[in-house]
Amino acid sequence: MAELGRGALVIALGLELWAVGAGGYAAWRGRRRLAASAQNALYAALGAIVVAALVLEAAMLRRDFSFTYVAEHTSRKLTDGYAAAAFWSGQEGSLLLWLLILSLFSAGVLALTRRPARTLLPWVVPILGVVGTFFAFLLVFVTSPFDTQPPPADGAGLNPSLQNPYMLAHPPLLYLGYVGLTIPFAFAMGALLARRTDELWIVATRRWTLLAWTFLGVGQLLGSHWAYVEIGWGGYYAWDPVENAALMPWLAATAFLHSVMIQEKRGMLKVWNVLLVIGAFLLSLFGTFLTRSGVLNSVHSFSFSSVGPWILGFIAFVTAASLVILFSRLDLLRSRTRLESVVSREATFLYNNLLLVALCLTILWGVIYPIVSEAVRGETVTVGSPYYNFFLRVFGLPLLLLMGIGPLVAWRRASLRSLGRTFAWPAAAAVATGVALLFLGAGSSTPGLIGYTFSAFVLASIVLEFGRGTSARHATAHESWPRAFTSLIGRNRRRYGGYVVHAAIVLLAVGIVGSSAYDTKSTATLRPGQSMGVGGYTLTAGRPRYTTVPNIVEGRTPILVRRGSDALGTLNPGQNYYKAEDQTSREVAIRSDYLTGEDLFLNAVINKDGSVHLEASVKPLVNLIWLSGLVFIFGSVIAMWPDAREQRRLATRYAEQPAYARA
Amino acid sequence: MSVALVLAAVLAIGAIVAVALPFIREPEVPDEQDRLAGVDPAQRRRLQLLEERDRALAALSELELDHRTGKVSDEDYSAQVGPLRARAAAALRALDSAAEAPAPSEPGEPDDAVLQAVRVPTGSISAD
């Protein structure tokens, strides 16, 4: 069936090329049937790519080792679930997933925006086609998942670290985020090419951008939890370049989601918004380059990874082309409105944008500096956590504070008297929290204390916003309190959904601060029956035991956990040995206290003499990080949920556009 | 020929049909009926005015909510509401007159004079 997979990809490449060539010509010369044909090409490309993906997935599940890719990433002992997920465990499968998701997004956005954006779509289609053509080209000519070989008796198996339930969700979610950012980019470029500088491209892509941003955020959080429970070093974010690769486009997209509101409300920042959309898309391509080029192991790994130079070349092409398009339309993008006051909601959005972009650029520099250094000077340089943590504090803490300030400041301009009134309660809550924490001993970490104080300010301002909004609605609409609360959110979904997302970020910040600034660690080598203490817990080692399940020998040391005189149960940290892969992985044990949000985290290495080297840490509030993911999704769904009134208004606004049908 | 190649051939034929479908459905269309309708200057100007109207109404709505929730003082509210109402009314008037006025000869940019009419200068909001 490899021929079918190869053939489907060749057909998809042809269709994408048609979407670029015919679509571009149709948009330029105004050819209606040709434009419709180019759109159909994108729909048909989705069909061809789905066929290719099904062929590869079927080969994975059948363990058809005549497919080189299948032999390299699965084995007979691998469970079906992980064999299915091994689809995206390697380069070729990941690129096919990229293309599949891009095609799904392309077909989805064409179908769902065909009415409101019908005058824009002829220009959007060739842009989507360019991106699709590039990835189809890679899969057909550079790195095919359908290369075949004489089948070996068994496959090489899957990296043990990837044999985790998160493997099923984390990579696809990240790709949904990366690839989803193609949609606002394609619409922005399409709008500029069509000389359409009204808000249509923003309106058409608003939910798509939010969706991609949500996927990217949730994907990163799942990856963090995966690292926390699987990798065994006790943390959830290591400022690894691959992790940063996902964080950077998310930061750029976050900046865009805020600044686009200024364009919608004030008609300002049109150039800046297009630059942010271009930047977010380029960073998503750069993330793909980082993870797929092999450049992270060594800059010389271009010889091992065939796609690196191609992706880098494509990034250069997209950068040049999009900037040429942008600068050729600068005259249409000039704003006639200006900022009225530096103390206004739009000004806080602007400060937020500057901080987000500054944070993004410092992370980008931290990622590329070692690569450039090794490539130019041949020196291996590492940019470690201290660099990133420093800039996270410098830019992140003011960003946190701005999340609380922004909602309290009026649009256009705010007087000092109003500010004094609206800031009083959140500021009092923040000061009270800070003083209380000082008395409780939280002063051991100054950034931690500042982080908690700012978090209290933001949470108080969010609660105040909901409270005052509900109260105003209750008074003016004469609704019951619960009804006033729900209708307040229902009528202002983006605003209040955004506040819920802010609350999620506060939970995240509190969790990060608690688990990193106030954690307790202890290490000891224990023989059976010996004990150690950490953060108020007493840990007593038992005798190691080994069990064998298919493909895995599990070694575990039972650790009896007590706090004071209370026995809290037994944790079983240890190691797994994967026979087919001939690799060992650490298996941590975690006891979560959901009431306090605290984790007891154990990592054990079993020695040959039966003793165990135990690394124990107590991480306060770490569970708030994972809780923030649920709140984040909830807030995003509120913000994305369609508002019938707004849709009617927009439908009226764009109803008079000429039909994308016969003239 | 293997089953895979037959299936690939079927897929290729399906792709060609999909791409050719607009031409199969309408094989012979006069040139003027095969043109993509663009947005003419009048429609472009109207869109610009509709956005301006929506912005003005949204600004009024935001001001009301900010006032009710205490973010805008009574004095600031009084100073801002008049110009915003005037701007919203001007936007509505401009939309009506744009519907009656002939399209500007220069395509691309909206008519500056009309946009000026719907926009209350920034300074006047501060001065009120």
Query: Which of A8, A27, A415 lies at the smallest CB-CB distance from B73?
Result: A415
Tell if the CB–CB gap between A412 and B125 is shorter than 8 Å: yes
Query: A526 and A609 in contact (C-beta within 8 Å)?
Result: no
Q: Is A472 close to B65, i.e. CB distance below 8 A?
A: yes
% of residues, chain A, pLDDT over 70: 97
Q: For chain A, what are the domain ranges?
A: 520-619
- What's the rounded Cα separation, in Å, for the pair A598 and A627? 12
Provide the token pair at A144.
Answer: 């095919």
pLDDT of residue A99: 96
CB B87 within 8 A of CB B125: no
Residues B49-88 pLDDT 10s: 888 888 888 889 888 888 888 888 888 888 888 988 998 8
Residue B33: which of A340, A408, A663 has the nearest Cβ? A663
Mark yes or no for CB contact A26/B36 under 8 Å: yes
In the prediction, which pLDDT does A658 show?
Answer: 52
Bridge pairing between strands A559-563 and A537-541: antiparallel
Q: Which residue of B has its CA nearest to A338?
A: B122
pTM for the model: 0.90
Confidence of residue B102 (pLDDT cuts 50, 70, 90): low
> Residue A660: is its pLDDT beyond 70?
no
The Cα A267–Cα A336 span in angstroms is 8
- Residue B122 confidence (pLDDT): 36
Compute the CA torsion angle A277, A280, A282, A284 (nearest 10 deg).
Answer: -140
> Residue A460 is encoded by which pair of tokens?
């108080």
Beta bridge partners of A553: A548, A577
DSSP annotation of A151 reads: P
pLDDT of residue A133: 97
Tens digits of per-residue pLDDT, A647-658? Answer: 887 877 777 555
Answer whether A253's CB lies under 8 Å from A213's CB: yes
pLDDT at A295: 64
d(CA A44, CA A29): 23
**Quick one: fold of A520-619?**
Tick-borne Encephalitis virus Glycoprotein; domain 1 (2.60.98)
Chain A residues touching residue B74 (CB < 8 angstroms): none
Cβ <8 Å between B115 and A336: yes
Q: Among A515-529, A632-646, B88-102, where is mean pLDDT lowest?
A: B88-102
DSSP-derived secondary structure for A153-221: SS-----GGG-STHHHHHHHHHHHHHHHTHHHHHHHHHHHHTT--STHHHHHHHHHHHHHHHHHHHHHH
Q: What is the DSSP string of A18-77?
A: HHHHHHHHHHHHTBHHHHHHHHHHHHHHHHHHHHHHHHHHHHHHHT-TTBHHHHHH--TT
Closest approach of chain B CAs to the CA of A97, in angstroms? 20
Confidence of residue A304 (pLDDT cuts 50, 70, 90): low
Task: Please tell me the predicted confidence (pLDDT) of residue A524.
Answer: 93
Write b or e for each residue in A555-572: b if 16 or more Cβ atoms lie within 10 A of its Cβ, otherwise e: bbbbbbbbeeeeeeeebb
Please give the residue of chain B at the shortest CA–CA distance from A337. B122
Rounded to whole angstroms, how far apart are CA atoms A374 and A148?
35
- Residue A101: pLDDT band (50, 70, 90) is very high
The pLDDT of residue A482 is 93
Written as one string, the DSSP assignment of A81-119 is HHHHHGGGSSHHHHHHHHHHHHHHHHHHHHHHTTTTTTT
Q: Which residues of A touch B14 (CB under 8 A)?
A: 44, 47
Q: What was the pLDDT predicted at A297?
A: 57
* pLDDT(A577) > 70: yes
User: Rounded to whole angstroms, how far apart are CA atoms A265 and A258?
Assistant: 11
The pLDDT of residue B110 is above 50 = no
DSSP per-residue string spanning A346-388: HHHHHHHHHHHHHHHHHHHHHHHHHHHHHHHH-------HHHH
The partner residue sitting opposite B69, judged by closest CB among A472, A649, A658, is A472
Judge: B19–A15 Cβ closer than 8 Å, yes or no. Answer: yes
Structure-model confidence comparison of residues A655 and B8, the more confident one? B8
Residue A344's identity, in one-letter code, is S
Closest residue on chain A to B84 (Cα): A412
Q: Which long-range contacts (CB under 8 A, 24 or more apart) does A316-323 make?
A: A318/A278, A318/A281, A318/A282, A318/A285, A319/A278, A319/A282, A322/A185, A322/A189, A322/A278, A323/A278
Mean pLDDT of A334-343: 82
Please give the mean pLDDT across all residues of chain A: 89
Q: Can you say how many angstroms the Cα of residue A56 is from the centroid of all Cα atoms in its chain?
A: 26
Nearest residue to A42 (alpha-carbon basis) of A68, A62, A23: A23
Angle (CA) A232-A233-A235 rounded to 5° is: 110
**Shortest distance, CA B101 to any CA of chain A (angstroms):** 16
Report the pLDDT value the prediction gives residue B1, as an integer from 0 to 100. 57
Are residues A3 and B73, on separate chains, in Cβ contact within 8 Å?
A: no
pLDDT band at A87, cuts 50/70/90? very high
pLDDT band at A147 (very low <50, low <70, confident <90, very high): very high
Determine the average pLDDT of the residues in B32-38. Answer: 82
Q: Which phi and psi angles does A589 have, rounded to 5°?
A: -125, 135
Q: A22 to chain B nearest CA, in Å? A: 10
Residues in A closer than 8 angstroms to B19, CB to CB, are 15, 18, 22, 37, 40-41, 44
Section A477-497 average pLDDT: 91
Helices and strands counted in chain B (H then E)? 5, 0
d(CA A192, CA A123): 9
Do the Cβ atoms of A449 and A442 come closer than 8 Å? yes
Residues from chain B contacting residue A492 (CB–CB below 8 Å): 65
b/e per residue B19-55 (b: at least 16 CB within 10 A): bebbeeeeeeeeeeebbbbbbebbbbbbbbbbbbbbb
CB–CB of A209/A253 below 8 Å? yes
Model confidence at A296: pLDDT above 90: no
CA angle A636, A342, A467 (to 5 degrees): 45
pLDDT on residue A300: 40
| B8/A340 touch (CB, cutoff 8 Å), yes or no | no
- Taking the C-alpha atoms of residue A2 and residue A10, their distance in angstroms, rounded to an integer, is 12
Backbone φ and ψ for A145, nearest 5 degrees, come out as -80, 0
Distance from the A41 Cα atom to the nearest Cα atom in chain B, whole angstroms = 5
Q: Supply the pLDDT for residue A662.
A: 35
Mean pLDDT, residues A354-363: 96
Chain B nearest C-alpha distance from A45 (Å): 8
CB-based contact A37 B19, cutoff 8 Å: yes
Helices (H) and strands (E) in chain A, counts: 22, 12
Q: Residue A145 and residue A135: Cα distance in Å, rounded?
A: 13
**Closest-approach residue (CA) in chain A for B120:** A337
Q: In this complex, how many residue pairs, one in chain A and one in chain B, have their CB atoms less than 8 Å apart?
A: 185
Mean pLDDT value of segment A452-480: 92
Mutate to test the interface with B, among A6, A9, A11, A196 (most CBs of B within 10 A): A11
Residue B111: its pLDDT value, please? 44
Q: Where are the alpha helices (DSSP H) in A378-480?
A: 385-391, 397-405, 416-439, 446-477
Q: How many CA atoms lie within 13 A of B64 on its CB side?
A: 11
Phi, psi at residue A239, to the nearest 5°? 55, 30
The answer to whether the Cβ–Cβ distance between B39 and A663 falls below 8 Å is no
A35 vs B contacts (CB less than 8 Å): 36
Q: Mark yes or no for CB contact A35/B70 under 8 Å.
A: no
Residue A477 binned pLDDT confidence (cut-offs 50, 70, 90): confident
What digits encode the pLDDT tens for the residues A583-615? 888 889 999 988 888 899 999 998 888 899 999
| Residue A290 scores a pLDDT above 90 | no
- Say yes or no for a CB contact (<8 Å) between B47 and A198: yes
Q: Which of B20, B52, B72 sits opposite A410 (nearest CB)?
A: B72
pLDDT of the residue at A637 = 96
